[in-house]
Amino acid sequence: MRSSTITRRFVIFSLLLALALCLCVVLSIEYFGRSSWERQPSVALILASAKDAPGWPREIAWGLQEACDITGYNLYIEENVSITDNNLQKVTERLAKKGVRDIFIANPGYQHSLEAMAYKYPQVSFHANSVGEVPSQHILSYSVRYYEARYLAGLLAGLHSKSGIVGYVGPFPATDTRRDLNAFALGAQKARPGVRVLVAWTGQWIDPEKEHEALYRLRVENADVVTYFLSSQNLAREAQAMEMDYIDFHHPGLNWPSHCLAAMETDWARVYADLLRLNLHGQSDLTYWRGMAEGVLSLRLAPKISPAEEALVLRARSELLKGQPVFSGQIEDGEGRLRCREGEVMANSSLLSDMNWLVKGVEVIDAR
């Protein structure tokens, strides 16, 4: 009996000891793992909407997370941050006090509000997702050369349209939005001389009601192929519902919608990995602006387009990759002023800051 009691006590002691060891291991992993995570350099992303919102927010958040995984950074994501009530400043101060090294902002409206914060925290690198519009030497600007893919999208739209009228929806006329619209118009006119290019401005980067109104107005004007430059993917869903062919500004998803002709795709993971590496080695300047040649941007074609359409776009893509600029040769604006002469190429500085005009043939309509 006594031997049995001793055995039972030994078993209980062994179990308790094993449990204690397991607890120690778990606590050690938790403590040292968290400590190790906190010792890693950190970056942050500030969004005006939810990080999983379809369109720009989701794609940027996914891309930056992948880049951080590659380069060994921790990532803080601040969602639904408004500029009002000093919310943006409060979030920025909290991130700076955490020791965040880089803060990326994806809303162009943030830049002006963050100028004072960038001056206040010189140890933090602030990156604005825009080029040519950044108001401060304390804020780095980054973007991709969307206009290259816009040109290809215009070629496809002009060739695919049966009515000879194509539509474009953007937030408001600014350097970035005019540059992309002009490239789209040049592509459409290249494929189909005499094509009408109609643009409707919504006044906001995200405004589902205005976007619906703009798309409806384009349809009334007999536009049968449309595209857009907006933060969300609302307009793509609206075009699909209205059975209008469209070129998506964002990733179309795993299955191509029936009316989607193509989609602009940005490799945000590569963009952010480039930015983190450049800054890590002290090589970053005030502007990061890369495009198709660097592999950060593409126009993916849907299986439904015709062989002739595919051949035209692929040939133009090959020419761009060989160095043929989009903004070259004779280009006139809507007032008949010559903006580029035959045999000339528009300078980067003009593309970045002087695009305050629209290509001849672009018609602005109001969303009603």
193-243 tens-digit pLDDT: 999 999 999 999 889 999 999 999 999 999 999 999 999 999 999 999 999
Same domain, 239 and 174: yes
Domain boundary among 109, 144, 179: 144
Number of domains in the chain: 2
How high is the mean pLDDT of the chain? 87
Residue 97 lies in a domain: yes
In the chain, where does DSSP find H-type helix?
Answer: 2-39, 56-71, 87-97, 110-120, 146-160, 175-191, 208-220, 234-241, 268-280, 307-321, 348-353
The pLDDT assigned to 139 comes to 83
> Quick one: how far is CA 271 from the chain centroid?
10
Query: Which pLDDT score is estimated for 117?
Result: 84
Q: Do 93 and 151 belong together in one domain?
A: no
Q: Are 179 and 355 in contact (CB under 8 A)?
A: yes
Residue 66's pLDDT band, with cuts at 50, 70 and 90, is: very high
Compare 9 and 175 and report the one with higher pLDDT. Answer: 175
Does residue 76 register a pLDDT over 60?
yes
Q: Give me the mean pLDDT over the 264-283 stretch.
A: 84
Q: Which residues fall within 8 angstroms of residue 106, CB to CB, at 6 or more apart? A: 45, 46, 47, 48, 56, 57, 60, 129
DSSP 326: S
The range of the structural domain enclosing residue 108 comes to 40-144
Residue with token string 């035959």? 342
**Quick one: 125 and 91 in the same domain?**
yes
Identify the band that residue 33 occupies on the pLDDT scale cut at 50, 70 and 90. Answer: very low
CB 42 within 8 A of CB 74: yes
pLDDT reported for residue 21: 62
Residue 18 has pLDDT above 60, yes or no: no
CATH of the domain at 78: 3.40.50.2300
Residue 140 sits at φ, ψ, to 5 deg, of -80, 145
Domain boundary among 91, 113, 144: 144
107-143 pLDDT per residue, tens: 766 777 778 888 889 889 888 887 766 556 778 888 8
Whether residue 87 lies inside any domain: the answer is yes
User: Does 55 reside within a domain?
Assistant: yes
Residues 120 and 247 in one domain: no
Phi, psi of 42 (to 5 degrees): -125, 150
Confidence check: pLDDT of 25 > 60: no
- What pTM was estimated for this model as a whole? 0.86
Distance between CA 257 and CA 303 in Å, rounded?
Answer: 11
What distance in Å separates the CA atoms of residue 103 and residue 39, rounded to the nearest whole number?
A: 18
Given a contact cutoff of 8 angstroms between Cβ atoms, the answer to whether 212 and 228 are in contact is no
Q: Which residues pair with 226 in a beta bridge?
A: 167, 246
| Residue 234 domain flag | yes
**Tens digits of residue pLDDT in 294-352:** 999 999 999 999 999 999 999 999 999 999 999 999 999 999 999 999 999 999 888 98
Q: What is the pLDDT of residue 23?
A: 58
pLDDT band at residue 250, thresholds of 50, 70 and 90? Answer: very high
Rounded CA separation 290/288 (Å): 7
Residue whose token pair is 């619209």: 181
More confident: 221 or 89? 221
Interatomic CA distance for residues 103 and 339, integer angstroms: 37
Mean pLDDT of 57-67: 95
Shared domain for 182 and 139, answered yes or no, is: no
Percentage with pLDDT > 70 across the chain: 85
Residues 327 and 244 in one domain: yes
Please give the pLDDT value at position 302.
97
Whether residue 112 sits in one domain with residue 89: yes
Residues 213 and 361 in one domain: yes
Q: Is residue 19 included in any domain, yes or no?
A: no
Within this chain, do residues 65 and 209 fall inside the same structural domain, yes or no? no
Picking from 90, 123, 144, the residue at the C-terminal end of a domain is 144
Are both 214 and 337 inside the same structural domain? yes
CA-to-CA distance for 147 and 142, rounded, in angstroms?
Answer: 15
Are residues 360 and 304 located together in one domain of the fold? yes
